[in-house]
Structure 1
Amino acid sequence: MVRSFSMKVKHASILLLLIPLALSAFTHIWNPVGFPDVFYDEGIYMYRAMHVLAGEGLQTGYFHDHPFFGQIFLAGAFALVGYPNSLHPTADVHSAEMLYLVPRVLMGILAVADTFLIYKISERRYSKNIALFASILFAVMPITWLTRRILLDSILLPFLLTSILFAVYAKDSKNKKLLVIFSGIFFGVSLFTKETMFVMIPLLTVLIYQNTKNPRMLAVWFIPVILIPLIWPIQSIQNNQFHTWIGDVLYQVHRQNNNFGNILKNFLVFDPLLLVLGFAGIVCAAIKKDWMILLWFIPFLVFLATIGYVQYFYWIPVLPVLCIAAAKFIIDLSKHAKEDIRNKLPFIIISCVGIFGLVMTSFLITSNVSAQFDAVAYVLQNVHNSDAPYDEKNTTIVSSAVYSWIFKYVYHMTDVLPDYRYVLFYPLLTDHVLLVSDLHLQANIDAGKQLQDVYNNTVSVKKFKGGVLDEDLGKYPFTNMAANYEGSEVEIRERN
C-alpha cells in the first residue's frame, strides 16, 4: 500500500516536471531560424567554431576577447552529427537556413536542459511548487527567447546551473566531496566559456560552505575553478601571445557602448511582467535574507552597472534566478490571501502569467524576420570564384561573419574576408568586390575610411527585406523586434 502510494507520488512528480519541459521545448526549439534574426556575434562564434572544426586552431587570428571553450563546444557538437556535410548543402535559401538551424536547435536543447536544472535547483532548495512555477516562467516568458541565439551566455548557462545544482545537493549528501568537485568543474567550464562569470563566485562559495560546513571543501572546489580557466592564458603563452592576451582582456574591460540604463530599458520593453515579478522577488529575498537569490543576482547587477560595455543579452545568466525569485514571490504573496483561496491562488496566478507569457512568446517565435538567408543564397548563386586565391577574375566577398563562415567553411569559396572590419587593416584581395551590407555593417560604417570607401565604390544590385518590417515595433510583444533589426534589410553591392 505504502509502496503503491509512493509510486503514484513519483509518477505525479514526473508529470509535473514534464509540463515545463514540454513548454520549453516548444518555445525554444520551434521555428529556430525564423526568429530571431542572426545577430552579428552569432556569426563570430559560428566562424570560430568552424575554424576549430576545420583543424585551423583554437583561436582565429590574434584576438583574445573570450576564452575558447564556446567554439570547442560547438565544434564538438558539430563533429558528432557530421555537420555541415551531413546536410548536403546546395546554393539555395533552404540550405542556408539549415546551416543555422542545427546550432539554433542545439541552443534550444540547452534551454530545455536549463529548464530542467531550474526545476531541480528550486525543488531541492525550496519546494516542488516553486520549482514548477519557476521552470514554467523560464519556459514561457518572452525574454527567454534570448537563449535561442548562438551566444556564449546561452552555452555557459547549463554549466553554471549544473554547478549550482551540485552545490545545493551537497547539503544532505553522503558524497559531499564528489559533488563539490563536480560543482567546481562545471563552474570552471562556465568561466572557461566567458570570463565574466567570476561574479558568480560569491554565490557558489556561500552555497558550498553552507551545505558542507567545511572550509576545506571550499579549497577542493576552487582547484578546478582555477585550473580550468587557466588553460586560456597558458595557451596564449604557448603561442607567444601573452602580451596580446593581456591587452585584449583590458580592452574588453574598458570598451564602451550601451550603458546599464539602456539594457534595463531593453528588459522592460522585452518582458515587463517578468521584470516586475522578478524584482519584487529580489526585494522579498532581501527582506528574508535569502542568500542564494541575492548572491546570484546582486553581484551580477552591480557588475553590469559598473562595466562600460553591456548588451541586452547579458541578462541571460540571471534569467533563472529572476524566475525563481518571481515564483517564490507569488507563493509567499498568496499566503496572505483568505484561507479559502490560499492554496489555489498561486496556481491561478501562475496559470494566468504562464498563459500570457506563452501567447506573447508564440507571437514572436512563429514569425519570420530575417532576409539574411536570401542574401546568402544570392551570393552563392552569383559568385563563381576559382579555386585559386587572388585570381584576378575572382570576386572579394566582404561581409560580416554572419555570412562569411558559410562561404568559406561550407562552400569553400576563395577570397572571402572573415569580417568586413578586415578592410580596415588589410588591402582587398581582388579588384572585383561584392559587399553584403546589412544594418550592422551600416551602423559601423564610420569605423574607418577604408570601409566607407568600399561602400561608396560599390553599387547596389539587390536588396532583401525581412518580416520584422511588417510588425508594429511599438506594440507588445513586438517591442522585442527592436533587437532583431540586423536581418531586416540586407543590400548586395558590387564593384566590377
Structure 2
Amino acid sequence: MIKCTEKQCNKTKYIIIILIPVVLSAFTHLWNPTGFPSIYIDEDHYMRRALQVLEGQGPQESILVYDHPYDHPYFGQIFLASLLKIADYRYHADQNAESPQSIEQLYLTPRIIMGLLAVVDTLLVYKIGEIWKGKKVGFVSAILFGVMPLTWMLKMTLLDNLLMPFFLSSVLLALFVGKRFKKDSSVTALIFLSGITLGLAIFTKIPVVTFIPLVGYIIYKETKSFRKIGLWLIPVILIPLIWPGYIIYSGNLENGLNGILYQIERGERDFADTLNFIVFADPVLVILGIVGGLTLTFVKRDLLFVLWTIPYFLFIWQVGGIVKYFHFIELLPILAISGGFIIVTISNKISAMGKKSARKIKIHNFLSIILIAGIGIFGLTCTLMVIGNNTNETFFELSAFISNYVVSNTDLNMKTTLMGQHWIRSFSWIPMYIHDKTNFVKDVFPERYLREPLKTDDVLMVVDNQLKHDVLDYSVQGEHLDKIRKIYHNSDRVGLFVDNPIKNIDINQYPFTNMKEVRELGLIEVRSNHVNEDNIVYAQTSNGTMDSENLNLTVPQIPMPTVADPNLKVELVASGLKYPTTMAFVGKDDILVLEKNNGTIMRIINGTLLDKPVIDFNVANKIERGLLGIAVANQTLNNSTGEKTYVYVFYTQALKDGNDVCSGATVCDEKTNPLGNRVYRLEWTGSELINPNLILDLPVGPGADHNGGVIKVGPDGNIYVLVGDGDSCWEDEFCTGTFEDSTVNAESSNVPTGHPPDGRGGILRINPFGEPILGGENKTTGVLADHSPLNKYFAYGVRNGFGLAFDPISNKLWDSENGPGYGDELNLVEPGFNSGWLKVQGWWPVENAQPLPPERGYFGDKIVTIPDNLETFADKGHYSSPEFTWNMSVGVTALEFLKNDTLGTQYQNDLFVADYNNNYLYDFNLIDDRTKLDLEGDLVDKVANNNAELDSVVFGQGFGVATDIKEGPDGYLYVLSHLYGNLYRIVPK
C-alpha cells in the first residue's frame, strides 16, 4: 500500500472538501431542469436573441422582432450563443411537427448550461469565502449556495445567471490581488482580468455597475494604490461602452434611449411584494445572511457585505421600474458567504466552550459538524421538495400546439400573428428559428397593441382567463379592446388547455413558499380566425381527439377526470357540447342539456348527442348571461289535461343571440340590452318543447355578471330560482337612463336605504304559474312581505350563486354562493334566510362596496358572526352564518345530494359540490339531524384556508369546470363539463 506524503494527503483532502459542495450543487441544479422552475418569458427572450446570433444575424435584435430590443446590452446573447455552440445545440428541427417532448428538449440544453454555470458559481463562492474568511467559511458558504431552496433561480436561462461567473470571478481576482500583492509586486494581470470580467458582467446587464465600489474597494484595500484602481477601471468602463458605441454607430440612439427608459419606467410589480417573496421563500438563508452580514459589518468592521448589498439594493429599488424575484440573484452569493461566516462563528464558539480536554474537544467538534451538516441536510431536503415538481407540462403542450399550427398551416401565406398577453412571445422563437417560419407577435397591452396595425390578416389568439374577462366584459373599455373583441368574435376555438394547480401543496408553507412564483396558466383557449371547415378542422373535440388529416398538429389529450375512491371510476357518456351549463333527465338515458352561448337545448339519448337542438332561444350570452338553468317535473296543472312533463328554463332573453354588446351603463339602450332574465315553463311531448309560458321576468343591468340562473322544483312542487345581485351599478352616478333603478345597492342586498328589491339578489319561490307562495292567516303574505316582488323572496342577501339542492331526508334547501375573491359559501337555507351580502361574505366583513380580492388568509381572525345593520324586512328576515366557507376564491358551482347507495352506502345522502378554480368535486357528509356538515380536522372551524385542508373532502378532480351535477335514474352521479363539453358519469368499477 502506497502512503501519501503529508502534502499529498492535504491536497487530496482539500480536493475532496471542495468536491462536496460542488457535487451537491450539481445535483440540485441539474436535476429535473425542465420540470422546475416554470419557464419564464425572459428565458424565451434570451433564447430568441441567442439563436439570432447563431444564425449570423448580428448581436442586436431588430425592433421589427421585439418592441424594445435595446432593453439590455447584447453580450448576454453572445455568451449564451457561444455556450449553445459549444454544447452543439441542435436547434434545426429534423421533423415538421413538434411534440411536448421535443419542445422540452429545446429547453433542456440551455437549462443544463445554466445548471453547470451554477456549479461554477458554487466553486467561485467557495474560493471567495475561503480567501476572505478561511476554508471553513468557504466550505459552509458553498454548501449554502449549493443546496438552499432559493438557489433554484440559478437554473433559469437569465442574464443574471449568465453574468454571475464573470461577476464572481472579478471579486475573486480582486481578492487574489491581496494574496499575490504580499508575495509578488506584479499584480497587473490579476487587476486587469478583474476589470475585464466585471466589464463583461456590466456589458451583460447594466445594474451590475453598482458593484464597482465593491470590487474597487477590495483592490484598493489590498494595494493602497489609486494607480492600480485606474488600471482596473479601464476595462470596467471601456467594455460596456461597446454597446452605446454600437447603438450610435448603427443610428439607433433613439431606440437605445427608449429601451433604457422602458426598463426604468415600467412598474409591473411592487418592490415590497418581491422582497416579501424572497424573505418567505427562504427565510433560513435570508436570516443567516443578514445576521452574518451585520456581524461582519459592525463587529468585524468589514465593509464587503455593505458594499455588495446596499448599492445594488438601492439601485433596483429606486431605478428599476420592474423588480422580479430573480433580480436578487446577484445577492445570493453574499447571503451564502455571510451565512457561512455566522455558522462557522457559532461553531467555533461551541468548540471553544469549557476546558479544552481531549474528550471535550472531540465532543465540541462533533457538535460543530452536526450543526453544519444539519443545516446542509435541511437545505437539501427542502430544495428537493420544491424542485421535484413538474410545472411546465401544459406549457410544453401549448408551445407544441402553437408551433405546429404556425409551421403546418400552409394556407397562411407563410405568416401568422400570435396574439395574447405579454408572455405570448414565449412561443414565437421556436417556429421562427427552429422551423424558419416567419411569425409576428401582438401583445394585447394597450400601448403596445396600438403602436402599429396588425401585420397579417391571420391571427392565432391565445386567451387566458384575464384576457377573456377583458374581452367579454364590456364595462372594460379601450380602443385596443374594441379591435381585440372583433378578432375574438370572428375566430373559432382550435385548442383548449387547462393547467391545474399542483395538488396537495400549500404555497403558504415553507419550503413551498418558493412555488408562489410558479406560473399557473389556468384555462387557455387558442382561437384562430382562419379555420377552413371544408378541409381542415383544427378544433379539439371534447374527448381529446382531433380531425387533422391534412395537418400534423400535436394536440393534448384531455385527460379523464379522476375520483379518489379506487372502487369507483369515471365514464364518458357524451361529448361535443358547446359550453353546457345545466342538464335534466326526461327519461332513463334521455337527457336535456343547455348550451349557454348558443341558446340551444341539446338532447342526449343512450350516450349519443343528437345533431339538432330540441329548441333554440335567442340569448344574450356575455360573461355569465345565457341559457343557464333547467328543471323538469311531472305535474298536474290542469285537472282536465292530467299530469304532464313540464320543463322550466332560465335564460337571458334577447332579440337575437349575443345581442348584449353595450359597452357601459351610460350608453346601453333597449336595442342592445337584453330583454331580461326570464323563466319560462314549457311542455315536454317526448320529442319537443312546446307552449312556452313566461312565469318570471327579472331585470338586467349593464353588468353581465351575477345572473345566477339555477332552478329547482322543490319537494313541495314549487319552483325555486337562485338569482344573483346582477353586478349592476356600484355607484348611483353610473345608474342612469335605462338603468336608473338597476343599482345593486338594494334592500335585498342589505342596504336599508337602498332601492326596493326587484327580484335579484336572492332565492325566489313561485308556483308553476309564477305566482308567489302566500301564507299567513289570510294567505296574503309571502315569507318577507305581502307585496310584489318581495313576496316571492324565499331568501335574500345573495351575491352570486350557481348551486341549489334539496336534502332528500330533511327536504331542506342548500345553496352555494361566491364572494369577491374570498368567502365562497355553502348555506342551509331556511325561509327568510339572509345570506349577508353586501355586509358580510363568508365569515368576513365587506369593508367597501366593491372589495378587491384579498390575498389568501388576508382577513385572519377578523370574524363576523352577527353582522350589524342588516336589512330584516320587519324582522321577517334572519341572518345565519354559512355552514362552510373558503377563505379564497374557488368559484363554487353545482350542488347535488345523492339519494341512492349505488356508489356505496358511504356516499348515500351526501352533498356533492363542484368548483371552478380547483376543478374539484367535493363530498360532504351531514350530521344526523341534517342541519350541519360533518367536518373533521382542519375543517372543524368551517373554513378552508388553503387547498391542503380540503384533501379530506375532495372526491374527484379534473372535470373541466363542472357546472352541473345530477343523480341519474340509474342512481349514478352525472357531471357536466362546461369547458370540455363532455358529460361524465361516476360508476362502480
User: TM above 0.5, one fold?
Assistant: yes
What is the letter of the counterpart of residue 313 of structure 2?
Answer: L
What is the letter of the counterpart of residue 242 of structure 1?
Answer: L
Per the TM alignment, residue 45 of structure 1 is displaced from its structure 2 partner at its CA by 1.2
2:71 counterpart residue number: 65
Which secondary structure state, in structure 2, belongs to the residue aligned with residue 417 of structure 1? strand
Which secondary structure state, in structure 1, belongs to the residue aligned with residue 5 of structure 2? helix
Residues 21 and 115, structure 1, Cα contact 8 Å, conserved in 2:
yes
Residues 493 and 527, structure 2, Cα contact 8 Å, conserved in 1:
yes
5+ unaligned residues in a row in structure 2: which ranges?
355-359, 531-989
Pairing 1:413–2:426 present:
no
2:328 counterpart residue number: 315
Alpha-carbon separation, structure 1, partners of 2:159 and 2:514:
20
1:397 counterpart residue number: 418
User: How much is the aligned-residue C-alpha RMSD, in angstroms?
Assistant: 2.7
Alpha-carbon separation, structure 2, partners of 1:128 and 1:346:
15
Alpha-carbon separation, structure 2, partners of 1:244 and 1:429:
21
Residues 428 and 441, structure 2, Cα contact 8 Å, conserved in 1:
yes
CA distance change for structure 1 residues 417 and 248 in 2, over 3 Å: closer, same or farther?
A: closer
Per the TM alignment, residue 457 of structure 1 is displaced from its structure 2 partner at its CA by 4.8
Pairing 1:461–2:483 present:
no
* Stretch deviating more after TM superposition (192-201 or 349-358): 349-358
Q: Alignment partner for residue 297 of structure 1, among 279, 304, 309?
A: 309
CA distance change for structure 1 residues 361 and 488 in 2, over 3 Å: closer, same or farther?
A: farther
Alpha-carbon separation, structure 1, partners of 2:296 and 2:78:
37
Residues 469 and 488, structure 1, Cα contact 8 Å, conserved in 2:
no
Alpha-carbon separation, structure 2, partners of 1:321 and 1:268:
15
Q: Deviations over 1:451-475 (max 9, x none)?
A: 5655565444333334643333223
Residues 97 and 373, structure 1, Cα contact 8 Å, conserved in 2:
yes
1:259 counterpart residue number: 270
Residues 407 and 435, structure 2, Cα contact 8 Å, conserved in 1:
no
Q: Alignment partner for residue 401 of structure 2, among 373, 378, 397?
A: 378
Per the TM alignment, residue 125 of structure 1 is displaced from its structure 2 partner at its CA by 1.3
CA distance change for structure 1 residues 61 and 414 in 2, over 3 Å: closer, same or farther?
A: closer
Report how many aligned residue pairs link the two structures: 494
Residues 387 and 413, structure 1, Cα contact 8 Å, conserved in 2:
no
Residues 442 and 454, structure 2, Cα contact 8 Å, conserved in 1:
no
* Stretch deviating more after TM superposition (393-402 or 181-190): 393-402
Residues 129 and 141, structure 2, Cα contact 8 Å, conserved in 1:
yes
CA distance change for structure 1 residues 125 and 302 in 2, over 3 Å: closer, same or farther?
A: same
1:335 counterpart residue number: 348
1:179 counterpart residue number: 190
Per the TM alignment, residue 298 of structure 1 is displaced from its structure 2 partner at its CA by 2.0
Which secondary structure state, in structure 2, belongs to the residue aligned with residue 172 of structure 1? helix
CA distance change for structure 1 residues 210 and 35 in 2, over 3 Å: closer, same or farther?
A: same
Alpha-carbon separation, structure 1, partners of 2:112 and 2:256:
32
What is the letter of the counterpart of residue 529 of structure 2?
Answer: R
CA distance change for structure 1 residues 462 and 137 in 2, over 3 Å: closer, same or farther?
A: same
Which residues in structure 2 correspond to 1:422-441 (within 5 Å)?
A: 423-437=449-463
Which secondary structure state, in structure 1, belongs to the residue aligned with residue 349 of structure 2? coil
Q: Deviations over 1:200-244 (max 9, x none)?
A: 011011001112222111011000001100011001111111133
Structure with greater proportional helix content: 1
Alpha-carbon separation, structure 1, partners of 2:492 and 2:512:
33
CA distance change for structure 1 residues 475 and 454 in 2, over 3 Å: closer, same or farther?
A: farther
2:387 counterpart residue number: 365
Residues 396 and 433, structure 1, Cα contact 8 Å, conserved in 2:
yes
Residues 282 and 293, structure 1, Cα contact 8 Å, conserved in 2:
yes
Per the TM alignment, residue 300 of structure 1 is displaced from its structure 2 partner at its CA by 1.8
Larger Rg: 2
CA distance change for structure 1 residues 290 and 489 in 2, over 3 Å: closer, same or farther?
A: farther
Alpha-carbon separation, structure 2, partners of 1:444 and 1:409:
32
Which secondary structure state, in structure 2, belongs to the residue aligned with residue 170 of structure 1? helix
TM-score (norm 1): 0.92
Per the TM alignment, residue 272 of structure 1 is displaced from its structure 2 partner at its CA by 1.1
What is the letter of the counterpart of residue 433 of structure 2?
Answer: Y
Q: Alignment partner for residue 281 of structure 2, among 265, 270, 288?
A: 270
TM-score (norm 2): 0.47
Alpha-carbon separation, structure 1, partners of 2:426 and 2:105:
14
1:481 counterpart residue number: 515
Pairing 1:151–2:158 present:
yes
* Stretch deviating more after TM superposition (33-42 or 474-483): 474-483
Alpha-carbon separation, structure 1, partners of 2:338 and 2:435:
47
Alpha-carbon separation, structure 1, partners of 2:367 and 2:512:
30
Q: Alignment partner for residue 133 of structure 2, among 122, 126, 131?
A: 126
Alpha-carbon separation, structure 2, partners of 1:359 and 1:466:
27
Per the TM alignment, residue 442 of structure 1 is displaced from its structure 2 partner at its CA by 7.6
Pairing 1:228–2:262 present:
no
Which residues in structure 2 correspond to 1:153-168 (within 5 Å)?
A: 153-168=160-175
CA distance change for structure 1 residues 376 and 283 in 2, over 3 Å: closer, same or farther?
A: same
What is the letter of the counterpart of residue 314 of structure 1?
Answer: H
2:19 counterpart residue number: 18
CA distance change for structure 1 residues 345 and 198 in 2, over 3 Å: closer, same or farther?
A: farther
Higher normalized contact order (CA 8 Å, seq sep 6+, divided by chain length): 1
Alpha-carbon separation, structure 2, partners of 1:395 and 1:87:
19
Alpha-carbon separation, structure 2, partners of 1:109 and 1:195:
24
Which secondary structure state, in structure 1, belongs to the residue aligned with residue 114 of structure 2? helix
Structure with greater proportional strand content: 2
Per the TM alignment, residue 193 of structure 1 is displaced from its structure 2 partner at its CA by 0.2
- Percentage identity across aligned positions? 37
